[in-house]
Amino acid sequence: MEAHREIEERQALQCVIEVLMEELSGARKDEQQKRVAGLEIALEQNLSNAVRIGWLEGAKRIAKSLGRPLRQPDELRVITAVAVLNDDRVLMKKMEETDSIILRPEEVENLAERFGLRQPEPICCD
């Protein structure tokens, strides 16, 4: 159930991101600066959401559309913490190899508390 919810969250977030990125690319800065600023704020909020659910590819894509890399250490460390909480060994290994991020259990706990991350509930029943 939790995995299905995460998939739905990612799909919904991806749709929002695509619409926002289309709007951003179509906006002319000289005539629509307020609109562009609003879209950039929305993209930043969606970047934050992507980071909090541990969606590395989506977060990188949004950051790129904002003209910046993912912020180190915060954004990448939060994504790694989500990977640890979800026991996503593939993502944990990727974060270790590409960004040299390995978190101690107390760091994961601190990030989880600070950013409101949660460990998914078990899917199976008794």
Q: Is residue 80 in a domain?
A: yes
124 occurs within a structural domain: no
Tokens at residue 88, please? 């996503």
- E-assigned strand segments in 4-108: none
Stretches where the chain sits below pLDDT 70 are 1, 26-32, 119-126
Give this prediction's pTM: 0.71
The total of structural domains in the chain comes to: 1
Q: Is residue 126 in some structural domain? A: no
Residue with tokens 């990977």: 83
In angstroms, the CA 73 to CA 126 distance is 40
What is the residue type of 57? E
Q: Is residue 123 part of a domain?
A: no
Q: Kindly state whether residue 66 falls inside one of the protein's structural domains.
A: yes
Segments forming the whole domain that contains residue 107: 2-115
Flag whether 99 is in a domain.
yes
Output the pLDDT for position 27. Answer: 62
